[in-house]
Structure 1
Amino acid sequence: MKILITGITGFVGSNLKEYLKKGFKIIGVSRKNSNNILSYKELNSSVFNNANALIHLAGKAHDLKKTADDKEYFTVNTALTKQLFDQFLKSDCEVFIYMSSVKAAADAVEGVLTETVIPNPITAYGKSKLAAENYILSKEVPKNKRVYILRPCMIHGPNNKGNLNLLYSFVSKGIPYPFGSYENKRSFVSVENLCFIINELLDNATIPSGIYNIADDEALSSNQLVSLIGTSIHKKATILKVPKILVQGIALIGDILPIPVNSERLQKLTEDYVVSNEKIKKALNKKLPFTAQEGLVKTIASF
């Protein structure tokens, strides 16, 4: 089975390549061609016809520094997806997997996010991902083809720290974590569980096409994460319950001055964002290989 993977040099792409290479022939696709990697200009009908599946990972990630031009999100996340999906529909390629995001559905979650929610993204990133989803869903897909839109929550894994890095810095440097007054729950997904799910989608033709949230089974609070980091690196994790109004004031200062905490980062660390993975687990009819805690411990160990 021959698989095309866009964005193969990125964090998810490089992990997925390693995960799938024993069972599949992998052809990487990126903006510039190099050894065994095609450019988008080289993705002609012959390449598509000789491939069994296309996994579209490439995209412009959400810019926390807010320096990106909104148009760039739609150029990369929407227009490129449209182009690739049109080529897929015309070809003999049978499986299309699009890596969207939970942010295409909601920037804030009350309760638990499921696939039945009416999407209402606020950021250009989320809107560009949703626009790509809507284009895919607007097309009639032949019966011999399968199309999956995956909405992962925060993906983590070895050598990809993300927002976990800030929590790690508190514990590793012996700095008390000051946001203990926030009681939140947040979903994560380990890159190992994500790769497992994609492998199952490729292998099992009975899994219905559609939109699937991707998350680990358990949601954890930031306080739990801080404690888990402390346990993992054998250092005492001190959690302080600084009054929220004081914390919010410090974050506002961080919006102006270059200190570790600003309003957006505070929101990321303390917000509730629980994502249901029941639909994908029911479709797979299998357990995920790693619990949330096991996956996070692997990531923490790589820091």
Structure 2
Amino acid sequence: MILVTGATGFVGSALVRKLATGPVPVRACIRRSKAVMPEGVQVMHVGSLSADTDWREALSAVAVVVHTAARVHVMDDNAVDPLAAFRSINVEGTLSLARQAAAAGVKRFVFLSSIKVNGEATTPGNPFQADDIPAPLDPYGVSKMEAERGLWEIADQTGMEVVIIRPPLVYGPGVKANFDAMMKWLSRGIPLPLGAIHNARSLVAIDNLIALIEACVDHPAAANQIFLVSDGEDLSTTQLLQRMGWALGRPARLVNVPAILLRMGATALGKSSIAQRLCGSLQVDISRTQEILAWSPPVSVDEGLRRVAEGYRREASV
């Protein structure tokens, strides 16, 4: 049996839907007792993720845990102590689950981490690698790094296999936050000063991430490995807007403003982090993932964008 935590989240819900079509029984752990799951999926309400969560019943007869539950990264965190808040859930909650999983005889623990463990930006031609020295810069990234380190210790102590996946920005039908805002801008035909951005950023379509998670559930070579994942094609911010516009059927209205001016303006407004995401590069090298698992992203960038555009139009029509 496969146990999925965070089964109502963006990644967790997509994973449960896909796993439910396979031959292995799936148990979905949720916080909200009224969540609807696919037919045949066992649903278990476990409450919030913390160091005190009792997972014993949920872990019964489970061979693999896929841990997607987390306190997620947000642009404007209003917690008094963000690092403490992230550690409470992403570190202490994760490691408590892992210890209980090992004690219950779970064979493999698949952990959805973040590329933020590697850092926030790359230089041209130097993408992040799985074996880079971690260099997280924000509390969320630090918490994911600390969780990874704790999982390796548990693996060493217990023999439970650990697999770590570090995705960059994940997009797909139902995506929210900045990606959703971008689609709204494009759909409304709002002119954007982003027509001259020559960066390169890796993204991953939800279907590609789910395909990799599936491979990591049972592939023998995945044991005790770190995998980076992306769509296999990096885009500049300008290219992303153009191709997202094509997918939406609303050509992007882009104004050619030099990136240096955008950075200066954003810094003056106290929004330098936004400028970094729009103008900076963040690339990941997935060649190691492909070689070890004999895996390639099944969905192209354009197909991934078409699917997210289709989902956006469907939601907008409701």
Within 2, Cα distance between the matches of 1:241 and 1:165? 23
Out of 34, 46, 51, the position equivalent to 1:39 is: 46
1:80 maps to a residue whose letter is G
Give the aligned partner of residue 147 of structure 2.
Answer: 132
Shift of 1:47: 4.0
The change in CA–CA distance for 1:268 and 1:285 in structure 2 (over 3 A counts) is same
The answer on whether the counterparts of 1:222 and 1:269 sit within 8 Å (CA) in structure 2 is yes
Shift of 1:232: 1.6
More strand by share: 1
The two structures, once aligned, show a CA RMSD in angstroms of: 2.0
Out of 51, 55, 64, the position equivalent to 1:53 is: 64
Shift of 1:211: 1.0
Gaps of 5+ in 2: 36-42, 48-52, 313-318
1:26 maps to a residue whose letter is V
DSSP 3-state at the match of 1:148: strand
Give the TM-score taking structure 1 as reference length.
0.89
Give the TM-score taking structure 2 as reference length.
0.85
Shift of 1:33: 4.9
The change in CA–CA distance for 1:252 and 1:169 in structure 2 (over 3 A counts) is farther
Shift of 1:251: 2.4
Within 2, Cα distance between the matches of 1:88 and 1:62? 25
Give the aligned partner of residue 89 of structure 2.
Answer: 76
Within 1, Cα distance between the matches of 2:265 and 2:75? 18
Out of 242, 262, 276, the position equivalent to 1:267 is: 276
The answer on whether the counterparts of 2:174 and 2:311 sit within 8 Å (CA) in structure 1 is yes
DSSP 3-state at the match of 1:219: coil
Q: Percent identity?
A: 28
Within 1, Cα distance between the matches of 2:285 and 2:248? 30
The answer on whether the counterparts of 1:193 and 1:289 sit within 8 Å (CA) in structure 2 is yes
The answer on whether the counterparts of 2:168 and 2:229 sit within 8 Å (CA) in structure 1 is yes
Give the aligned partner of residue 258 of structure 1.
Answer: none
Deviations 1:76-123 (A, max 9, x none): 110011101111222221110011101012122222001121111111
1:1-303 equivalences under 5 Å are: 2-23=1-22, 24-31=24-31, 33=33, 36-39=43-46, 41-44=53-56, 47-68=58-79, 69-70=81-82, 71-110=84-123, 111-139=126-154, 140=156, 145-252=160-267, 254-255=269-270, 262-303=271-312
Between 49-58 and 124-133, report the one with greater CA deviation: 49-58
Shift of 1:141: 5.5
Shift of 1:300: 2.3
The change in CA–CA distance for 1:233 and 1:83 in structure 2 (over 3 A counts) is same
The answer on whether the counterparts of 1:180 and 1:242 sit within 8 Å (CA) in structure 2 is yes
The answer on whether the counterparts of 1:49 and 1:93 sit within 8 Å (CA) in structure 2 is no
- How many residue pairs get aligned? The number is 294
Within 1, Cα distance between the matches of 2:197 and 2:248? 24
